[in-house]
Amino acid sequence: MINLETTLLCGQSFAWRQEGDTYSAVVANRVITLTEKTFVHAVASDQTLSHYFDCAWHYDEAEEYLASIDPHLAACIAQHRSIRILNQDPWETTISFILSQNNNIARITQLHRALCQRWGSEVAEGFYAFPTAEQLRCATEGELRSLGVGYRSSYVLDAVANHELLQRVWELDDLKASHLLQTIKGVGAKVAACILLFAYHRMNVVPVDTWIERVQLNHPHYTSWDLFSPYAGLAQQYLFHHERTQGGAV
DNA sequence: GGCCAGGAGGCCT
DNA sequence: AGGCCTCATGGC
């Protein structure tokens, strides 16, 4: 079981399109098309997809534990059941969240697609993979700006120049990994946390944005995210989505 | 309907 | 503390 709409369209990934109940994207150079009904069968026969959707992880146990800690969080989990944390490509995720700053989901998705169409490989009719660092090396700041990337253009180019450091992140603990990611221009604490949670599966990392600040404001007893350790990142995802869709109401 | 100001899942100098 | 690309949105 999975909540595809919330998992794929609510700010974790910018690669997916929705048409009715059908979701499609290019993952690992293949076009993937899914509905919630075909999901179980699709991942069962496909190791790449199974990993992408994090099927082996113990969500039931983690969510049960989180629900036992706090009633509000329990309600959020019950209501938005089966949000999953994806195992996305670190490079694509890094660029995506550099694009995300001072931006909304619709525009981030649009920029993601623009980069794919301009520099990515066409893997099927009308479907383009996210460009590799090697492919993006051809990009100029002027070209990026003309696509609408704006002042983030120089950040993208700095990430291209330093993309090899993404390999080293796997070996580092959360704090050191965050510091290393922040050596890329345009990557601060928030963007680094998004990369760690959504690409490196660091389940205890919490991206703090304006929505999560609002959660903290409305729930002063959340004195520290350590409350939800070692699953604070998963807790964040439920609290974040609930806050965005229903405000402070429980 | 048209105009304009402030915001949008931050970060740099 | 201000500025930054650009676009959708809401207030007037």
- pLDDT tens digits, A102-118: 999 999 999 999 999 99
The bases of strand C with some atom under 7 A from any protein CB are 4-8
Q: Which residue is nearest to nucleotide B10 (CA to C1')?
A: A101
pLDDT of residue A223: 81
Integer Cα distance of A224 and A16 in angstroms? 33
Does position A91 have pLDDT exceeding 90, yes or no? yes
Locate A80 and state its tokens. Answer: 């938005």
Backbone phi, then psi, for A139, in 5-degree steps? -70, 145
Q: What pLDDT, in 10s, does the model give residues A173-229?
A: 999 999 999 999 999 999 999 999 999 999 999 999 888 888 888 888 888 899 999
Q: Which amino acid is at A196?
A: L
Average pLDDT for A155-168: 97
Q: Please say whether the beta carbons of A95 and A159 come within 8 A.
A: yes
The nucleotide minimizing the C1' distance to residue A105's CA is B9
Q: From the CA of A152, how many Å to the C1' of C4?
A: 9
Residue A234's alpha-carbon distances to A57, A67, A73, A187, in angstroms, are: 12, 11, 11, 22
Q: How far, in Å, is the CA of A35 from the C1' of nucleotide B9?
A: 26
**What does strand C contact on the protein, if contact means CB under 7 A?**
A 102-104, 106-107, 145, 148, 150-152
pLDDT tier for residue A85 given thresholds of 50, 70 and 90: very high
Q: Which nucleotide is nearest to A192 (CA to C1')?
A: B10
Q: Is the pTM of this model over 0.85?
A: yes
Query: What integer pLDDT is reported at residue A248 of this predicted model?
Result: 52
pLDDT at A250 over 80: no
> In the predicted model, what is the mean pLDDT of residues A55-82?
96
CA A92 to CA A98: how far, in whole Å? 10
Q: Is A176 a catalytic residue?
A: no
- Is A7 a residue whose pLDDT tops 70? yes
Helix axes A59-69, A71-79, angle to 10 degrees: 140
User: Which residue, among A203, A204, A178, A211, has the nearest Cα to A192 in the 3D structure?
Assistant: A178
Give the CA-to-C1' distance from A186 to C10 in angstroms: 30
pLDDT (tens digit per residue) in A13-47: 999 999 999 999 999 999 999 999 999 999 999 99
Residue A38 exposure: Cα atoms within 13 Å on the Cβ side: 11
Using DSSP's 3-state secondary structure scheme, residue A8 falls into helix
